Amino acid sequence: MQKKIPVTAIFDIGKTNKKFLLFDEDFSIVHQNKTRFKEIEDDDGYPSENLNQITSWVKNEFYETVSGQKFEIKALNISTYGATLVHLGRTGIPVTPLYNYLKPYPEELAERFYSAYGGKEPFSLETASPPMGMLNSGLQLYWLKHRKPHLFQEIETTFHLPQYIAYLFTGQAVSEMTSIGCHTAMWNFEKNRYHRWLKEESLLKLLPPVQPAGKVEQVHSNDHTFQSGMGIHDSSAALAPYLAFFDEPFIQLSTGTWSIAMNPFNIEPLGFEELPRDCLQYISIFGKPVKASRFLLGGEYAHQLKKLGEHFGKNPSQIDCEPDPVLIQKIVNQHDSSGKLILEKAAGSGPYPNKNPGEWNLKQFKTYEEAAHRLLLDLASIQADALKLAEGSKTVDQIIITGGFAKNHFFCRLLASMMPGKKVYTADIPEASSLGAAVVMNMNNLSVDKIRNKLKLNPTEPFPGLNIGHYSWAKM
C-alpha cells in the first residue's frame, strides 16, 4: 500500500469562496477544493451566510480526507473573514443566524452606545476601531442584547467564526487575538485588555478564554490524531509568513475588493484625524499591533471597468490596452480636474472620506485608452496616500503587493512611479491567507528556505522618465 502523504489541512472561508486546501511538507498545495453557497435570509430578512451548510461542508471535507488513502492530516488550521460572531447555546449549537457584517446598524442604538462609553472618538481610539456598525463585531453582541433579548438570553458562548470552525474539531471554545483585534470595538489597545464596556454590559461571561494565534490542541477523532490550531483572521494570516521571515521593515498591501495596507513596524497610536480616514489597527500572530489603512480599491475598479467596457465596447473585466507613459504624463500635466475619477462605490472609504460620491461621466473622454489611464492613475494616487497613512512618521522603504492587484502590472508600475525611493514588490502567492494559516501551525519546525522560496518577491520598476511623484487625485 502506498504511504500516505503527510499534510497540513486548511479551511479558508471567505465571504464568496469556501476553500479546503492541503499543504505538503514543502508548503506546496497538493489538494484544493473550492465551493460557494447561496445566501439565505436571517430572522430580519437580510442576506446571511448559511452556517449549517458551512458546518456540514467542513465536516464532510475533513472526514472524506481522513478516511481516504492518499493523505494523512498531521495538522489543521482555519482562516476566515472577520467581523462575524457565532453564538452557541447551552448544548453547543448556534442559537442565532450568522449575521452579515454589512447589515445596517440602528443609528439610535449606536449613538446610545457611544454616549454611554466615553464618546465616539475617544472610544474608537481606545479600541482602534473606526465606527463601522456591524463591522465592529462587538457591537453585534450589544445589538443582540438590546434589540433581540429573546435570542440573547439563549447565548452561552460567543466567539468569532474562525474559532467556531476550530471548535468543531477540538470541542474547545476559545477566543483568539487576531480575531479580537480586528476592528471589533472589544479590545482596549491602550491597556491591552478587553474594553470596560463588555464587563459593564455583563458580556465578559460569554467570551471564552483568550488564546494566542499559535495555540495548538491535540485532537483524537475517528482513530485519527492531529494537531489543531485555534483559527486566525484572514488578514493577519496573509501577513504571517512575511512577518515571520522578513527582518527589514515593510508594508504589505493586501489587495482584492478591499485593499488593506498593513504596517507591523508602526507602533504609533492612532490619532483622532486618522479614524475617519479608514485607519485602524490589527493584531499580528505575535500579539502586536499592526497599523493599517483601508480603501475599497477593487470594488471601485471592478465597477468602473464594467462601465468602461459597456461604454467603449471593450473587455468589461480587465484593462483592454497597454500602458502609455506619454499619455499618463499628459494627463498629469493637465491643470483642470474635469476628467478626474469620481468615486461611485468607494466614496467614504480610504483616506478621503469627505469626497462625495457622484457619477464619473465617460462621455468626456474621446478614447477608451484615455479613460482607462485616468482610472488607474487616480486609483493609484488614492492608494499611494493610503499607504502613506499606514507608513506614519517612520520611513518604510519596502512595499509588498499581494492579492489580485499584484497581477495588474499597469497599476503596480503606476504605484511605484508615484512613490519614488520606495522598493515595490509583487508576490504572486496562491492562497496567501491559507499559506499563512499553515505556517502558523508549523512555526516550531519551519525551514526558512522553504518559506522564502514560496515568498519570492518580484521587483516592480516604475515607468522610466515618468515624473508623477507629485500627482494627487485629492488636490485636483
Long-range contacts at 221-226 (CB < 8 A, ≥ 24 apart) = 221/66, 221/169, 222/63, 222/66, 222/67, 224/66, 224/73, 226/73, 226/74, 226/75, 226/76
Structural domains of the chain, count: 3
Backbone dihedral angles phi then psi of residue 283, each to the nearest 5 degrees:
-125, 130
In a domain, 218, yes or no: no
Residue 270: pLDDT band by 50, 70, 90 thresholds?
confident
User: Are residues 291 and 408 both part of a single domain?
Assistant: yes
Query: How far apart, in whole angstroms, are the C-alpha atoms of residue 260 and residue 292?
Result: 7
The domain boundary residue, chosen from 79, 97, 120? 79
Query: How far apart, in whole angstroms, are the C-alpha atoms of residue 15 and residue 13?
Result: 7
User: Are residues 75 and 85 both part of a single domain?
Assistant: no
Rounded (5°) CA angle 312-315-316: 85
User: Are residues 55 and 100 both part of a single domain?
Assistant: no
Asked if 257 and 225 count as a contact pair (C-beta separation under 8 A), the reply is no
In a domain, 250, yes or no: yes
User: Are residues 206 and 275 both part of a single domain?
Assistant: no
Q: Give the global pTM.
A: 0.88
User: Are residues 289 and 363 both part of a single domain?
Assistant: yes
In a domain, 270, yes or no: yes
- Can you point out the beta strands (E) in 304-374? none
Q: What is the pLDDT of residues 359-409, one digit of tens each?
A: 999 999 999 999 999 999 999 999 999 999 999 989 999 999 998 899 999
Quote the domain boundaries for residue 46: 1-79
Q: Mapped to the 3 state alphabet, what secondary structure does 179-210 carry?
A: HHCCCCCCEECCCCEECHHHHHCCCHHHCCCE
Sign of the CA dihedral with 431 first, then 435, 438, and 440 last: negative
In a domain, 294, yes or no: yes
User: Are residues 275 and 420 both part of a single domain?
Assistant: yes
User: Are residues 23 and 43 both part of a single domain?
Assistant: yes
In a domain, 226, yes or no: no
CATH of residue 22? 3.30.420.40
In a domain, 362, yes or no: yes
Q: What is the pLDDT of residues 422-450, one digit of tens each?
A: 999 998 777 889 999 999 998 877 777 77
- What share of the chain has pLDDT > 90, as a percent? 80
User: Are residues 273 and 307 both part of a single domain?
Assistant: yes
In a domain, 140, yes or no: yes
The domain boundary residue, chosen from 59, 79, 99? 79
Residue 1: pLDDT band by 50, 70, 90 thresholds?
low
User: Are residues 274 and 420 both part of a single domain?
Assistant: yes
Tally the residues of the chain: 476
User: Are residues 242 and 196 both part of a single domain?
Assistant: no
